[in-house]
Chains A and B, each alone.
Chain A
Amino acid sequence: MALARIGLGSNEGDPAGYVEAALVALARYGRVAARSSLYATKAWGVTDQPDFVNAAALFETELAPRDLLATLKTLEAELGRVETFRWGPRAIDLDILAYDDLVLHEPDLVIPHERLHERAFALVPLAEIDATFESQVAALPASERAAVQRIRLPAARTIWPVTWDETLDRVRSAAEFCASAGLVRIRIEEDDVAIDVRRTPRAVAVPLAALDEAELGTPAPGALAATNGNAHAATGHVLRAEFVGIVRLSRPTVAVGAEIAEDRELAYVESLGIRNPIRSGGSGRVAEVFVTDGEAVEYGQPLFSIET
């Protein structure tokens, strides 16, 4: 089994489509172990030509170099012909850029590709998936490197948020999922965004430092009372309602400033006849009481904040 580096390029019709189609077709003859992003390169000289689209693939194959070359030529013909015969056989170019560590000099086949070192459109995609080519990319003139632009996926493919608010929403959701699933860490990656949430398990309480202050200060519709989140010390936590219900302060009731010696029930939320206790989660000082006895509370509504 050999590892070949294949370069793909097209500037006919739907170039990105050809490159993607070629990657799919390649998989019939081996395993595409890695593929680069798509890159756009301005067509030289003639300006009414579409940009070239290039990509590279790491390709595990049983085919010997010469058989691989023949296969690539067949694929070129097949893709060019089947897809759009009117564009002729050169709709896509497939090249062997390298083949293991093989060095081969024959009249019709040179490996590594003889002009690889000077072709930014081949090197830049290749370096993305094979770091051994990074030095060759670095050796290219900056202007040539800059002419090869990674094609960003259209915005609609990005399920990830683009604004701060939404990013924070995603972090919050990840944190909630983490807690609800009893995990201590969750990492989610997609495209350019990675969210890494680590949690110190603690019942019901959300660490104050992790809270978006703006969210606490936002007046919410419905039953959620407007609260002043800015008054809290940085260390501590806010106890929130998980159940929609009526809050009942437990006796003896705590007031602002009360010291709590140990974990104790401060209140409970009565929901469908069930008492859902709100516990302090340890010792501390009551920094704020957000609710009054008998008040209706909704999910996520702050009840107490505790300084520790």
Chain B
Amino acid sequence: MFKKLLIANRGEIAMRVNRAAHELGISTVAIFSEADRASLHVRNADEAFCVGPGPVARSYLNIPNIISAALISGADAIHPGYGFLAENARFAEICADHGLAFVGPSPETIAKMGDKATAKAIMSEARVPTTPGTDILNSVMDALAGAKRLGYPVMLKATAGGGGKGMRAVRTPDELEHAFATAQAEAEANFKDGRLYMEKLIEKPRHVEVQIMGDAYGNVVHVGERDCSVQKPSHQKLVEEAPAPHLPDRVRRKLHDTAIAAARAVKYKSAGTLEFLLAGDDVYFMEMNTRIQVEHPVTEVLYGVDLVREQIRVAAGEKLSFDQKRLVPSGHAIECRINAEDSANNYAPAAGTLVDVAMPGGYGVRVDSHAYAGLAVPPFYDSLLAKIVTHGATRIEAIDRMIAALGDTRIAGVNTTIDICSAIMRDGRFREGGIAIDYLPAFVPPSAAALAT
């Protein structure tokens, strides 16, 4: 097992990893930016190094200073958390070059899965269903032929794309020529690469993902699925739950089997997630995340396993401590993300100082948070302040427990998503279950409507 682990992250996930490491008897090294000097993740670690100023490019992405901190402190491994360097194949490679174990999959796997086209090709080969699509389109004629084959509506996408740039939904052949030209120009302008391809547009899908875990000895298990369909207009998740409600057993099995096949295809040896779009009973592979995810506690609570601890053990060359038979879900789990955001203003991030913080607790309630009264929320980073997870014997019990937990939660000083989460938990449509990703953007909290009248 490792002796000392450097945690290349901040906030709640750095604290989460810190706890897992301490439980395993590993001492920890935190890194921080000047803006995070007073953060809990800095205090809770055994050692800490400032690696740069507030902006992430010069601190949490400052590879030379992070590696140097690891070497100076005598760390033998680096846990990247999520975000920042977690899916940076080059960083994983640099760790290896300096004799540091990277807690995650191999650099090759990260690189393959990071490239959407390669990932899709690998998945197709492993007979994992992917969104039907075309190769690179050479002309509008190509595009028209492709769209005819796939059937409208279709989505034009830039091969170098990201962040919605170079993407156009096309519903009729008439729209295609114009959409092709504008998407191409946008892709050219943003990525210096105007190449486009086309996919069938899956309308109003659900977002369901499968947690997998593998080790270096070829053992791969799935740890069930999570439904993350409550997404902000920016496609960021707000509420996650497991298991996915109203999923026919047949579809659930298909998802799990597919995820296992995919993980085996890339000899996956860490914690990872396969994201799927679900439309009716059809399942389409979207992408694979080669990191621990924000919403992993939902799965941990449901299955009673510690994924981060397992991730560290596996990275140290140990075997998975459970097999598929031992993984049995119990009841239902829900997570609400409490972000420093203004939900009434398109979730604009809010910075400020938390003047009052009270977190919920009690039976069936888990809180992962780095918030404390007096914490100045810097403007440079993700707005996540806390993850509240409730567990119940049934879905409704978990939801009602969440309502109570959110009622006990108090964060003053910045706007938060507490109220919107609470409104969602009370919403009839959500309580029914099985909502699609168009749910939240169209959701109007009843309290706001009542205020307006």
Contact = CB atoms under 8 A, between A and B. Distances in A.
Interface stretch (A104-112, A161-169, A254-262): A161-169
A13 B452 CA distance: 5
A64 B452 CA distance: 36
B146 interface: no
A158 B351 CA distance: 8
B280 to A, nearest CB: 35
B253 to A, nearest CB: 44
Main secondary structure on B side of the interface with A: mixed
Nearest to A270: B68
A172 B52 CA distance: 12
Contacts of A243: 64-65, 68
B350 A172 contact: no
Q: How large is the interface on A (under 10, 10 to 19, 20 to 34, 35 or more residues)?
A: 35 or more
Nearest to A14: B452
Given A13-B453, A169-B35, A222-B30, A300 B68 contact: no
Contact of B55 (A17, A177, A223, A299): A177
Nearest to A165: B376
Given A163-B376, A243-B64, A271-B64, A221 B53 contact: no
A100 to B, nearest CB: 36
B350 A159 contact: yes
Interface in B363-388: 376, 378-379
Nearest to B353: A163
B411 to A, nearest CB: 12
Contacts of B47: 222-223
A131 interface: no
A180 interface: yes
Interface in B321-371: 341-342, 345, 348-353
A298 B376 contact: no
Contacts of A163: 353, 376
Contact of B64 (A156, A224, A272): A272
Nearest to A161: B351
A245 B69 CA distance: 7
Contact of A244 (B37, B68, B348, B379): B68
A160 B349 CA distance: 11
From A169, A221, A299, residue with most partner B Cβ within 10 Å: A299
Interface in A261-303: 271-272, 296, 298-301
Given A13-B452, A220-B50, A159 B351 contact: yes
A246 interface: yes
B37 A221 contact: yes
Given A172-B53, A244-B49, A162 B65 contact: no
Contacts of A180: 58
Given A169-B378, A172-B34, A222-B47, A298 B69 contact: yes
A180 B52 CA distance: 12
Contact of A299 (B30, B51, B73, B351): B51
A49 interface: no
B452 A17 contact: yes
A18 to B, nearest CB: 11
B43 interface: yes
Interface in A122-177: 154-163, 165-166, 169, 172-173, 176-177
A92 to B, nearest CB: 15
Interface in A24-79: none
B72 A244 contact: yes
Nearest to A296: B72
Contacts of B376: 161, 163, 165-166, 169
B415 interface: yes
Contacts of A165: 376
B71 interface: yes
B452 A301 contact: no
Interface string A212-230: 0000001011111000000
B37 A220 contact: yes
A159 B68 contact: no
Interface string B55-69: 100110010111111
A301 B51 CA distance: 10
A298 B33 CA distance: 10
Contact of A162 (B52, B72, B348, B352): B352
A133 B380 CA distance: 41
B55 A244 contact: no
B140 to A, nearest CB: 32
Interface string B36-49: 01000011000111
Given A156-B342, A156-B348, A221-B42, A298 B51 contact: yes
A283 to B, nearest CB: 28
Contacts of A159: 348-351, 379
A81 to B, nearest CB: 17
B54 interface: yes
A56 B211 CA distance: 54
Given A156-B415, A161-B351, A180-B58, A244 B69 contact: yes
B68 A272 contact: yes
A301 B158 CA distance: 44
5 contacts: A14-B452, A154-B342, A172-B34, A244-B68, A299-B59
Given A14-B452, A166-B351, 10 more contacts: A156-B341, A159-B350, A162-B353, A169-B376, A172-B34, A222-B47, A223-B48, A245-B68, A245-B72, A246-B72
Q: Which 3 A-B pairs have the closest CB atoms?
A: A156-B415, A222-B48, A156-B350
Interface of A: 13-14, 17, 154-163, 165-166, 169, 172-173, 176-177, 180, 218, 220-224, 243-246, 271-272, 296, 298-301
